[in-house]
Structure 1
Amino acid sequence: MRSTPVVNHLLRLGFREKADDLTPLKIQKLLYFLHGWYLAVTGKPLIEEGFEKWQYGPVARGVYDALKRYGSNPVDDYIKDFDWETGEETAHFINPETVPQFSDVLEAVWKKYSPLTGAQLSTLTHLEQTPWSLTEMRERIDDELIRKYFVDQANAKRNASAETPT
């Protein structure tokens, strides 16, 4: 699926919660974590364009192009596309009924990662053995590498909680 409707869902959630730090950097990283966890849960990519390795972490180029006018400032509006039927700029969103488990994964990712800054999220993508660290600069990060990484993260968390005494 296209990345802009997914980003618009992230923005909708952020606007509803009055988040004032949704910079393009933070949105890119939230989108990456959403894509990664969606891959881990469903085995299918959430966005078709994928991510490239850039200096500050994974980047979906189409999202970068759509948000670059904000620089390091918070994004204050949805990404709009030209609608050929109406002749107007329109913000598109996902119909959650057509994308199984999207809403659940979105809520979980938002809860876990939205309290962090864009810089903190970028740092998480730069850890050793992350898909970003295993990819050459400006190359596309392989979705299977992303899926495996997030599945491993889920398994590690599951194993750690199983070892914790109650």
Structure 2
Amino acid sequence: MKVQIGTEYSAMEIAEYAVSRRYRHDTPISNLQLQKILYFLQVIHASETGELLFADQFEAWPYGPVIRDVYVEFSDCGGFPIKREFDTEINDSIRPFLDAGVDMLAEKSPWELVRISHAEGSPWDVIYNQKRLHKGIIPNELIMQCASEVSE
């Protein structure tokens, strides 16, 4: 399966945009929430467009899918809200999708997002539980397959 990327952004740029948006709205998110928001934005975008939002690959960590470099960038915050602002430029064609997705997902508790990401048969479940590849790469092809099942 050939994986298409729908935007020119990296996971880090999308993460910075999400962190800034929630900080500006006085509802900052934690690193755990951020990781799950990135994951669900990726799946939703792929299910709606047939393309990935970004090329970075998730890893299957105990609390769900994680983009390692994003995790490391915000790890100094621990489990506390990330109170930072970035000047990430996002073009108008993708901004409404990001705004709606980030806001909707940020309303859910981090543990609800973890629970959903751990669903049986999810890309995380396949890598972490079925293949027992703890911190193993979740191939983008697996996310695309999940997204196509969601859109059916």
TM-score range, shorter chain: 0.7 to 0.9
Q: After superposition, where does 1:17-166 map in structure 2 within 5 Å? A: 17-20=25-28, 22-78=29-85, 91-97=86-92, 100=93, 102-135=94-127, 136-155=133-152
1:111 to partner: Cα distance: 4.2
Number of equivalenced pairs:
139
1:152 to partner: Cα distance: 2.1
Cα RMSD of the aligned pairs, angstroms, is 1.8
Structure 1, unaligned runs of 5 or more:
79-90, 156-166
1:139 to partner: Cα distance: 1.2
Identity %: 24
Please say which structure displays the higher CA radius of gyration: 1
**C-alpha spacing 1:92/1:3, structure 2 compared with 1 (3 Å):** farther
CA distance in 2 between partners of 1:104 and 1:54 (Å): 29
CA distance in 1 between partners of 2:135 and 2:91 (Å): 32
Query: For the Cα contact (< 8 Å) 1:37–1:147, is it kept in 2?
Result: no
The one-letter code sitting in structure 1 at the alignment partner of 2:135 is R
TM-score, with structure 2 as normaliser: 0.81
Structure 1 or 2: more strand by fraction:
1
TM-score, with structure 1 as normaliser: 0.75
CA distance in 1 between partners of 2:112 and 2:61 (Å): 16
